[in-house]
Structure 1
Amino acid sequence: MRFTGTALRLTIMVGEGDQWRHKPLFTEIVHRAHEAGLAGATVLRGIEGYGASNLIHTNRLLSLSEELPVVIVIIDTHDRIHAFLPQLDELVTEGLVVLDDCEVIRYVGRDLDESTAGDEARPGVQEER
C-alpha cells in the first residue's frame, strides 16, 4: 500500500518502565495500533529527558535510570487516529499525548500478497499504485 496527503501524527511519551498488565506499556500501545489497522507505529527510546515529575532521567553511566523516556509515533488519517484515542485514555495514566497535522510525502509498504487485508482505501488520503 502507498499513500500521500494530509494525515495526523500521534506522539505518545511515556516512561520505559511503565507497564500494562506486566508488560511494557509501549508494547501494548503498538499491538493495539496494529489491531486497529493503523498505518504504522514506531517506538523510540530516549537517552535523556524529563517530564511532569521534573526529574531528569538519563542513560549516563553514573546515573543509570530504568525510567528513560520512550516515544511512540503513529501516523494515519484523522479519522483513524481519533478512533484510536479512547484506547489511550485507558492505557496512558502518566505521560504526554500530542496530535499534529502532517503531510505524508511518501509511504510505501513492501509488496506482499495484494489480496491481503490492510490494503483497503483510507479516506482523505490519496493512494497510489
Structure 2
Amino acid sequence: MTQTTEATLLRLFIGESDEHAGRPLHEAIVLRAREMGLAGATVMRGALGYGRSSRLHTSKILRLSEDLPVVIEIVDRPERIEAFLAETEPMLGSCLVTLEAVRILRYGHDGGMS
C-alpha cells in the first residue's frame, strides 16, 4: 500500500489583471512561494468565470476579457501554508482564498515532502 502524507491545499482565486508591485499577481505569488521553499505551485487560467460582482469574464473571441479568472494552487504541510498566507496577506487584496485538507499519495521520487 502507498504511504500517504497529510497536507493542505491552498487555492487562490484572482483575476488575470490583478497586480502587485508592478508585476502580475499570480507571478508575484508563485515567486514568493518558491522563495519560501514551498513544495510547488500551479497557475491555471480559466476560460469563464465570475466573482463577487457577478460580471462574467470569458475567453470567447467575440467577448474578449482583459481579466480572465486565474486559480493558483499550492500544496504543502499545514504550518508552511499558514506561514505563506501570513507572509503574502498584504498582496492578496480581495481575492478568494480556500484551504482544504488533502492526502498526498505520491510526491517526487521518494513519495515524501521536504
The two structures have a TM-score, normalised by structure 1, of 0.80
| 1:127 equivalenced with 2:112 (yes/no) | yes
* Runs of 5+ consecutive residues of structure 2 not aligned to the other structure: none
| 1:60 equivalenced with 2:45 (yes/no) | no
Aligned partner of residue 107 in structure 1, secondary structure: coil
The two structures have a TM-score, normalised by structure 2, of 0.91
Residue 119 (structure 1) aligns with: none
C-alpha distance in 1 between matches for 2:53 and 2:21: 23
Q: Percent identity?
A: 45
Runs of 4+ in 1 over 6 A off after TM superposition: none
- What is the CA-CA distance between 1:63 and the residue it aligns to? 0.7
C-alpha distance in 1 between matches for 2:15 and 2:112: 35
Aligned partner of residue 90 in structure 1, secondary structure: helix
- What is the CA-CA distance between 1:68 and the residue it aligns to? 0.2
Residue 115 (structure 1) aligns with: none
Task: Report if aligned partners of 2:106, 2:112 keep a CA contact under 8 Å in 1.
Answer: no
The amino acid across from 1:127 in the alignment is G
Residue 29 (structure 2) aligns with: 29
> May I ask how many residue pairs the two structures share in their alignment?
111
Task: Report if aligned partners of 1:4, 1:107 keep a CA contact under 8 Å in 2.
Answer: no
Task: Report if aligned partners of 2:49, 2:68 keep a CA contact under 8 Å in 1.
Answer: yes
Residue 20 (structure 2) aligns with: 20
Root-mean-square deviation (Å): 1.9
Residue 6 (structure 1) aligns with: 6
C-alpha distance in 1 between matches for 2:39 and 2:16: 23
Residue 104 (structure 1) aligns with: 104
